[in-house]
Structure 1
């Protein structure tokens, strides 16, 4: 299985991005997606076709979209001002990879709240 650290490393110096899929609150699948942003070194835009395909697969019984991930190649694993501008309040999980760390956040609609997590092998 692809790890978030591997995805960030492959994309550097650009931002990687993708989907976090699973059941309940457990992330079971990390699904990379193309970054379609104009300036991929400082922004990300998940390919909408990848997102639509994931929602379609979930309706057919597959894992549901729990959230999204992206990297900050020159930053920290905290939501940037741009990330906060895109906060929608959908309560999805955002994972941010930077400085060799992965931090998880809950989209609260007026920013992000940190989430505790643990890795289960």
Structure 2
């Protein structure tokens, strides 16, 4: 599956991707847009004393527990989506060695309301609906989504994601 492979490719750092598709009447994810984790010292004004010196090894260690999407990738994905009549519905990221549950930082940094899919490797993959818009709130409400993985899906098949269901194809 492309999503899991792209998230795992940067392990032990967190991998990330955007989920693109239609939002009405029910959200349907049609495309996974893999992204680079650009988390680093002072990203977005957030101080990170662990790697304040900019040491690459420390940045990598920090990326093991957090991620940030490159704003340029978000803009490119948004433009590409609009050309197809889609929008960004949410994000996916990994928690290497962790649990598939949104952390306080995940809740705080996510923009707007939408789907958050977390792949924690052997601990599983779970989908969440982040309520919003409450960007900046580490106690932001989330609801678990049910998720069904279709083994007969092929590249380009629809992935359905909404507060009641989320379907993810194997690619």
> TM-score band (shorter)?
0.7 to 0.9
Take 1:50 and 1:87, find their aligned partners in 2: how far apart are those partners?
A: 15
Counterpart for residue 114 of structure 1: 144
Which structure 1 residue ranges, 5 or more long, are not aligned?
A: none
Take 1:36 and 1:87, find their aligned partners in 2: how far apart are those partners?
A: 15
Summarize the alignment of residues 51-90 of structure 1 with structure 2, pairs less than 5 Å apart: 51-88=74-111, 90=112
Q: Could you say if the C-alpha distance between residues 20 and 87 of structure 1 is closer, same or farther in structure 2, counting changes exceeding 3 Å?
A: closer
- Report the TM-score, using the length of structure 2 for normalisation: 0.63
Shift of 1:43: 0.9
Counterpart for residue 29 of structure 1: 31
Alignment match of 1:94 (pick from 108, 113, 116): 116
The 8 Å contact of residues 16 and 91 in structure 2, kept in 1 or not, is answered as yes
The 8 Å contact of residues 69 and 95 in structure 1, kept in 2 or not, is answered as yes
Aligned length: 119
Deviations along 1:27-70, one digit per CA (max 9) or x if unpaired, are 22111111100221111001111110111122223532111011
Q: Could you say what secondary structure the match of 1:58 adopts?
A: helix
The 8 Å contact of residues 33 and 77 in structure 2, kept in 1 or not, is answered as no
* Aligned-CA RMSD value: 1.8
Shift of 1:18: 1.1
- Report the TM-score, using the length of structure 1 for normalisation: 0.86
Q: Could you say what secondary structure the match of 2:148 adopts?
A: coil
